[in-house]
């Protein structure tokens, strides 16, 4: 029994617990649907733009994300895998991530000069020189080393001005209570994915939950993430720098694409 290859799931966004329960018989009264002349509710698009603008202006934050993703077996049966990501971020050039899955753990350090990937269980680590900003670093490690960073969309929200053209339907679903925080629930449709997002009400329109359904894969696997934010956090410099101990063992990262964006090697 083998798992089908997992497709990279990413939000293609414009501009970018106690959950509200809506019974089927209540949908007509609680869901605001698009008009007959347009499948896109302008208010839903404006909510994405407002959220994206707020995210881009955050100078620093801590974030915990608990997510679950479906893997579809050759037989068609779905297997759910979970992951927890804890981020500490200080823009424009500091990032630390602790990632724990059902199968392994990884830790990432970025101090504005070097990117380090650590396997805490084995104490193997790899360090390479990196570009000076978080955005450039994320692009470089994905392009050269094939490393896909969790929650990367949070750092790229709104970069693609043409992304709105991919959205075919957009609507406000209703209001939800997520762990005591009120949020507006929106639903969007594109060619290959359906996705939903819950955006906090008030002056801090943070994404609190999103769900992505991949329609063009067998079994239509789904991804869901719940996000808990601390926008007042100010992580210290030491959080972002990896200092190896005598028990840590350096290894090399396999280069997938030779580009000048990053130079392989340990810090000098």
What is the residue-wise DSSP string for 89-104?
A: EETTTEEEEEEEESS-
Strand partners, 80: 70
Whole-model pTM over 0.75: yes
**Can you give the residue ranges of every domain in the chain?**
39-230
**Would you say 127 and 241 are in contact if contact means Cβ atoms under 8 Å apart?**
no
* Helix or strand run (H / E) with residue 43: helix 42-57
- pLDDT at residue number 160: 67
Per-residue pLDDT of the chain (268 residues; tens, 9 = 90+): 333 333 333 333 333 322 223 333 333 334 444 444 479 999 999 999 999 999 999 999 999 999 999 999 999 999 999 999 999 999 999 999 999 998 899 999 999 999 999 999 999 999 999 999 999 999 999 999 999 888 888 887 766 667 778 899 999 999 999 999 999 999 999 999 999 999 999 999 999 999 999 999 999 999 999 999 999 999 999 999 999 999 999 999 989 855 444 444 433 3
2.60.40.10, 3.30.470.10, 2.50.20.10, 3.40.50.10800: CATH of 39-230 = 2.50.20.10
What is the rounded CA–CA span in Å between residue 176 and residue 250? 47
What is the rounded CA–CA span in Å between residue 68 and residue 210? 11
Closest-CA residue to 210 (of 67, 45, 7, 49): 67
What is the rounded CA–CA span in Å between residue 75 and residue 4? 10
- pLDDT at residue number 258: 54
- pLDDT at residue number 244: 95
Integer CA distances (angstroms), 223 to 109, 193, 204, in order? 26, 11, 24
Find all residues with CB under 8 Å of 160, minimum gap 6, and list them: 12
**Would you say 118 and 106 are in contact if contact means Cβ atoms under 8 Å apart?**
yes
**What number of other Cβ atoms are within 10 A of residue 81's Cβ?**
14
How would you class 83 by CB atoms within 10 Å of its CB: exposed for 0-12, middle for 13-18, buried for 19 or more? middle
* Helix or strand run (H / E) with residue 163: none
- When computed from its CA atoms, the radius of gyration of the chain, rounded to whole angstroms, is 20
- pLDDT at residue number 138: 94
- pLDDT at residue number 257: 55
What is the rounded CA–CA span in Å between residue 35 and residue 48? 19
What is the rounded CA–CA span in Å between residue 204 and residue 201? 7
- pLDDT at residue number 154: 84
């Amino acid at each position: 029994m083998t798992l089908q290859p997992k497709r990279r799931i990413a939000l293609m966004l414009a501009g970018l617990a106690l959950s509200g329960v809506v019974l089927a018989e209540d949908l007509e009264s609680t869901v605001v649907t698009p008009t007959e002349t347009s499948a896109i509710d302008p208010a839903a698009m404006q909510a994405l733009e407002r959220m994206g603008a707020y995210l881009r202006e955050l100078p620093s934050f801590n974030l915990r994300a608990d997510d679950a993703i479906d893997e579809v077996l050759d037989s068609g049966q779905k297997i759910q895998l979970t992951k927890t990501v804890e981020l500490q971020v200080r823009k424009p050039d500091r990032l630390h991530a602790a990632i724990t899955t059902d199968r392994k753990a990884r830790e990432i350090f970025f101090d504005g000069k070097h990117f380090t990937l650590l396997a805490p269980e084995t104490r193997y680590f790899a360090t390479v020189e990196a570009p000076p900003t978080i955005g450039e670093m994320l692009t470089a490690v994905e392009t050269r080393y094939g490393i896909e960073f969790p929650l990367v969309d949070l750092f790229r929200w709104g970069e693609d001005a043409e992304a709105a053209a991919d959205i075919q339907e957009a609507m406000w679903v209703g209001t939800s209570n997520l762990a005591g925080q009120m949020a507006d629930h929106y639903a969007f449709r594109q060619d290959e994915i359906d996705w939903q997002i819950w955006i906090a009400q008030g002056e801090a329109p943070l994404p609190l939950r999103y769900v992505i359904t991949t329609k063009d894969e067998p079994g239509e696997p789904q991804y869901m993430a719940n996000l808990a934010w601390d926008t007042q956090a100010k992580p210290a410099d030491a959080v972002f720098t990896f200092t190896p101990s005598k028990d840590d063992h350096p290894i090399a990262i396999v280069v997938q694409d030779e580009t000048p964006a990053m130079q392989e090697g340990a810090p000098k």
